[in-house]
Amino acid sequence: MSSFDDFDAFEASSLSARAMAARPAPYLDGLNPAQRQAVETMDGPVLMLAGAGTGKTKALTARVVHLLMTGRARPNEILCVTFTNKAAREMKNRISGMLGQTVEGMPWLGTFHSICVKLLRRHAELVGLKSNFTILDSDDQLRLLKQLVQAAGIDDKRWPARQLASIIDDWKNRALTADRVPAADAGAYNHKGVALYKAYQERLRELNATDFGDLLLHMVTIFQTHEDVLDQYQRWFRYILVDEYQDTNVAQYLWLRLLASAHKNVCCVGDDDQSIYGWRGAEVGNILRFEKDFPGAHVVRLEQNYRSTPHILAAASGVIRGNASRLGKELWTEAQEGEKVRLIGHWDGEEEARWIGEEIEAMQSGTRRMRPFSRDEVAILVRASHQMRAFEDRFLNIGMPYRVIGGPRFYERMEIRDAMAYFRLVVSPSDDLAFERIVNTPKRGLGDKAQQTIQTIARANGVSLLDGAALAVEQGAIKGKGAKALGELVVGLARWGRMTGDAAMTHMELAEVILDESGYTAMWKNDKTPEAPGRLENLKELVKALEQFENLQGFLEHVSLVMDNESDEQGAKVSIMTLHAAKGLEFPAVFLPGWEDGLFPSQRSMDESGVKGLEEERRLAYVGITRAEEVCTISFAGNRRVFGQWQSQLPSRFVDELPEEHVEVLTPPGLYGGPGGGAAMGMGSVGSTLHDRAAEANVYNSPGWRRLQERQGQRPISQPRESTSTVIDLQAVSAYTVGERVFHQKFGYGSVEGIEGDKLEIAFEKAGTKKVVARFICAADDVPF
């Protein structure tokens, strides 16, 4: 449980701000004028618009230090909010570094969620909770919702509980309690969404639990309904700082505005061009509206970039210019020119992976133009995680060490969650969700029926499932070996519970005892599947992780908020990750594969969110390019397997948006029409666009292919396209008739079965029936080689 005395903690704080005020301010020295302004404008609202690589964390930390040094606030009077634990940790470290001592006295520097937990534990009773409430993660949440959906007699095939979960999350992100869900949303989840939301909240209250969304929403509710509480914190938090403001959702926005509305000493840092989390409730509008929300706000733009070369910045700027709703920033740098952004097209996804693998290998020893890059200076950033596979396959094949960043986190792994459910049950025996999770894990012969019996008995007696289980055993309601096993579990849990108070045993030893005596470890030892050893390994790691905590409770509290898993894997490895995961990181050399319409920008994004979705995708492109310090290589493939089906792809519209003068089009080696290969480059005549040149430089270029394109009439590819709809290449399609015999470079010969938009459905002789974009097809008697 968190301490309730933070308000008095400042006396004992390790920092005495006033004593330091007299000293000089070396932390200001390394700042450029804009950064300095952001630091020194202390009163009133400040919006720090910090482009990629412009030193925003530096400015933010300097601001905190400045507030302390000038005596404007004591360490525990500064509210400093980040989104991730990683960011919070980094800020703490940097502040300590600037101050030359550890920051003990900044209890209110943390993530939105961790700060809200602290606040909510103090005021839980105001929303009907006890201060020791538990925090459910999305897994628990889903299980709970499934039960409710089932109880309501809804066919969860047609209306998956997962969907309900995301609807409720969305409402919570928008700060909507069940009674405030607007009429427009009444139809959600087969018109039962609101009712189930109510039922869910009711159930959470019974369980004395919250989900992640509640942490914020409850605090907003409390601030809105209890003026005295709000007033207390408005006074207490003299200065407020917010990192990544473009990622705030409505609930976080309201929370901040409520806290800041009295003194308005709020400094928000963000970059509207890097808002890439709209799909999970972030509102770019929050940052775009800042000056309206806080009249008289000082807006400071950090535009000097310390990360990338001018070509890379120009390419990124060129792309992001396509977005209409922006605050507008233009990054500049004093860095030397460097390489242009490199663009290359490939035949298919596998070849793209092969080429990138070879390129990385070549880069390690350096080339005529480029310095050598070690593997850990290289990153491959993909739009969707399924793209990673091609690279993993390829890299495994050629023995290129790599690391995938992201993926399932440690605390999300099954065995870890099982183990923690045991711990939870030991610490709080009424944790029904934990009970359900482990009652039959390992197998105890307690199937659905037995579990139902337990449920019934527990409900009839108004007790927890664990107590219900004890009763069931006593009453003989469960028979056979299940009864014996259940009895042992109940007795075991009670025994382990008593052991928590045993001074003779550390909580690590206790954890081991629990896992061993419950039979959980044995379950994995007997498991012959290849994953089992790894899982045992993870369990060992889990026990090791306990070391840093005083007891199991402390550990569980921490884990529920900090799900991250900083793997300290070392060695020179190429990093592979999604664009989302790359935000905030930088690499000397970056590869951006899969720039194809439909994949990136993602079709679904555009279908579901139209222009808004496309703009977010474009920001993602911007984030991707700006991760690169020295070399940025963008690539696309003409064909890709999508859900097992081969599909022809068009290069991404973002490729068209790259300013030509900052891009160099590469030609894959060993393919038709290399540079100087005569005819191949011949088409780059007047009006040649980057896009045309990219297409020319790749594999679909050959004399026959060009003839084909001429026959079809040249498609004005680089004309600005409608942003939301795919342009249909009618000319290309109309060149064919149903029944015609055609040729495709990968699939061979086939006949046209149907025409749909710009795609042809073709029955190939060897490859089966596929839909292919007309431009990759030619008549069988016009085969290009």
Partner DNA sequence: TAAACGTGGCTTTTT
Partner DNA sequence: GCCACGTTTA
Q: Note the residues at the interface with DNA (CB under 7 A).
A: 83-86, 111-114, 137-138, 156, 212, 279-280, 383-386, 406, 409, 440, 443, 445-450, 482, 561-564, 577-578, 580-581, 602, 604-605, 608-609, 613, 617, 641, 643-644
| Alpha helix positions (H), 4-54 | 17-20, 33-40
In the residue annotation, 309 being an active-site residue is answered as no
Would you give the end-to-end CA distance of the chain in angstroms? Answer: 74
In the residue annotation, 627 being an active-site residue is answered as yes
| Under 8 Å between Cβ of 539 and 422 | no
**Pairing mode, strands 46-50 and 266-270:** parallel
55 among annotated binding-site residues = yes
Nearest distance from residue 138's CB to DNA, in Å? 5
Q: Which is nearer to DNA, 383 or 715 (CB)?
A: 383
Q: 125 in helix, strand or coil? A: helix
Q: How would you class 298 by CB atoms within 10 Å of its CB: exposed for 0-12, middle for 13-18, buried for 19 or more?
A: middle
Q: Which is nearer to DNA, 245 or 496 (CB)?
A: 245
Q: Which is nearer to DNA, 542 or 579 (CB)?
A: 579
The answer for 608, left when phi > 0, alpha when psi is -120 to 50, beta otherwise, is alpha
In the residue annotation, 86 being an active-site residue is answered as no
Q: How would you class 345 by CB atoms within 10 Å of its CB: exposed for 0-12, middle for 13-18, buried for 19 or more?
A: buried
The DSSP output letter for 26 is G
* Torsion of Cα atoms, 302 then 307 then 311 then 317, to 10°: -40
| Alpha helix positions (H), 569-700 | 579-582, 603-626, 653-656, 690-696
| Under 8 Å between Cβ of 349 and 390 | yes
Nearest distance from residue 281's CB to DNA, in Å? 8
Among residues 329, 394, 437, 627, the one annotated as catalytic is 627
Q: Which residues pair with 50 in a beta bridge?
A: 302
484 among annotated binding-site residues = no
Among residues 56, 58, 307, 715, the one annotated as catalytic is 56
| Under 8 Å between Cβ of 466 and 490 | yes
d(CA 411, CA 138): 12
In the residue annotation, 271 being an active-site residue is answered as no
Q: Which is nearer to DNA, 80 or 708 (CB)?
A: 80
Q: Which is nearer to DNA, 291 or 527 (CB)?
A: 527
297 among annotated binding-site residues = no
Q: Which is nearer to DNA, 194 or 382 (CB)?
A: 382
Nearest distance from residue 242's CB to DNA, in Å? 14
Q: How many CB atoms lie within 10 A of CB 228?
A: 6
The DSSP output letter for 383 is S
52 among annotated binding-site residues = yes
| SS3 annotation, 151-192 | HCCCCCCCCCHHHHHHHHHHHHHCCCCHHHCCHHHCCCCCCC
421 among annotated binding-site residues = no
51 among annotated binding-site residues = yes
Taking each helix axis as running N to C, give the angle between helix 193-206 and helix 138-151, from 0 to 180 degrees, rounded to the nearest 10. 120
In the residue annotation, 394 being an active-site residue is answered as no
Q: Which is nearer to DNA, 39 or 176 (CB)?
A: 176
Q: Which residues pair with 135 in a beta bridge?
A: 210
Nearest distance from residue 109's CB to DNA, in Å? 13
| Under 8 Å between Cβ of 638 and 347 | yes
Q: How many CB atoms lie within 10 A of CB 339?
A: 18
User: Which has the closest alpha carbon to 298: 521, 34, 500?
Assistant: 34
In the residue annotation, 56 being an active-site residue is answered as yes
Q: Which is nearer to DNA, 434 or 599 (CB)?
A: 599
Residue 308: half-sphere exposure toward Cβ, Cα within 13 Å: 32
The DSSP output letter for 775 is G
Nearest distance from residue 368's CB to DNA, in Å? 36
Query: DSSP for 254-270?
Result: HHHHHHHTTT--EEEEE
| Under 8 Å between Cβ of 730 and 758 | yes
Q: Which is nearer to DNA, 112 or 290 (CB)?
A: 112
Nearest distance from residue 384's CB to DNA, in Å? 4
Q: Which is nearer to DNA, 131 or 147 (CB)?
A: 147
Among residues 134, 210, 274, 521, the one annotated as catalytic is 274
Among residues 211, 243, 272, 597, the one annotated as catalytic is 243
d(CA 610, CA 485): 56
Nearest distance from residue 349's CB to DNA, in Å? 11
Among residues 37, 41, 57, 163, the one annotated as catalytic is 57
Residue burial 704-716, b: 16+ Cβ < 10 Å; e: rest: ebbebbeebeebe
Q: Which residues pair with 752 in a beta bridge?
A: 762
Rg (CA), the chain: 30
Nearest distance from residue 562's CB to DNA, in Å? 7
Largest CA distance in the chain: 90
* Binding site feature residues for ATP: 50-57
Catalytic residues: 56-57, 243-244, 274, 627
* Binding site feature residues: 50-57
